[in-house]
Amino acid sequence: MKLLRYGPAGREKPGLLDGEGRIRDLSAHVADIAGAALGPEGLVRIAALELDALPIVSGQPRLGACVGQVPKFVAIGLNYADHAAEAGLPVPSEPVVFNKWTSCISGPEDDVLIPPGAQKTDWEVELGVVIGSRASHVAEAAALEHVAGYCVVNDVSEREWQAERGGTWDKGKGFDTFGPIGPWLVTRDEVPDPQALALWLEVDGQRFQQGSTATMIFTVAEIVAYCSRLMTLMPGDVITTGTPPGVGMGRKPPVFLRGGEVMRLGIAGLGEQRQRVRRSD
């Protein structure tokens, strides 16, 4: 299934994408694509609904983040060896874990706002993992059983705040609008191998990133198991799993977003995002 949320920001309704690309309204059956609805029983209940009986949503409504009420937005850094190389950093021996604040979450086609005074805003296409059931100290072999599904994430980053202002990476990762998620959550049963997904990103039509989750240093199963040792993962938590090479920081000379650009990005089978970049100062 492809689950989504549509409507004005802050007032999104739950929906499902049918085989013809139409949005079907789920609001009579679930309150949101969040919490218990993402658990095994919740997903079975949604899958059992008579698709043709669900109302078709007319027009082309705004899509919100495909997961609502996200408890935690966890991120993994330097998870592709060639990205670590372009960043001038060693390949990590354990996953690099940081936070993106949940207030940064936005829809897949919402504008991305460059923070006031920022000069080094960058892009990162990533595979997002949505947790479906509580996970604490789970074994790697069982880790994927706790996953509800997968989605596209743009881990927008402000490099000066991330690397040059002291402290942790979190500073540069959680500005408002820096976490577009979606367009939809593709349930785990439709993604037989999360380590075999092509992903890409373009800025103003120029392809900057082209990669595959096959080249991740730490697999999705390893990441979920590792994170479950650091925190209890809850239904609706989102883990974004790192980016392949091609970020602006790695260009010679570096290329950063200035405002006015359009980013397009996607992952095979998980859909595409499109964001216009604007300055907020």
Residue 226: give its domain's CATH number: 3.90.850.10
For residue 62, being part of any structural domain is answered with no
For residue 63, being part of any structural domain is answered with no
For residue 60, being part of any structural domain is answered with no
User: Are 217 and 141 within one domain?
Assistant: yes
User: Are 107 and 238 within one domain?
Assistant: yes
For residue 58, the model assigns a pLDDT of 96
For residue 257, the model assigns a pLDDT of 98
User: Are 212 and 184 within one domain?
Assistant: yes
Q: What is the pTM of this model?
A: 0.96
User: Are 44 and 128 within one domain?
Assistant: no
User: Are 28 and 162 within one domain?
Assistant: no
Report, as ranges of residue numbers, the positions in the chain whose pLDDT lies below 70. Answer: none
Q: How would you class 122 by CB atoms within 10 Å of its CB: exposed for 0-12, middle for 13-18, buried for 19 or more?
A: buried
Q: How many domains does the chain have?
A: 2
Going across the sheet that includes 13-17, the strands are: 23-25, 13-17, 2-6, 185-187, 147-154, 125-131, 238-240, 73-77, 96-99
For residue 81, the model assigns a pLDDT of 83
For residue 59, being part of any structural domain is answered with no
User: Are 177 and 114 within one domain?
Assistant: yes
- The range of the structural domain enclosing residue 82 comes to 73-279
User: Are 221 and 94 within one domain?
Assistant: yes
Q: What gap in Å lies between CA 147 and CA 17, rounded to an integer?
A: 20
For residue 90, the model assigns a pLDDT of 85
For residue 2, the model assigns a pLDDT of 98
User: Are 188 and 241 within one domain?
Assistant: yes
Q: Which amino acid is at 157?
A: S
Q: Are 97 and 225 in contact (CB under 8 A)?
A: no
User: Are 38 and 169 within one domain?
Assistant: no
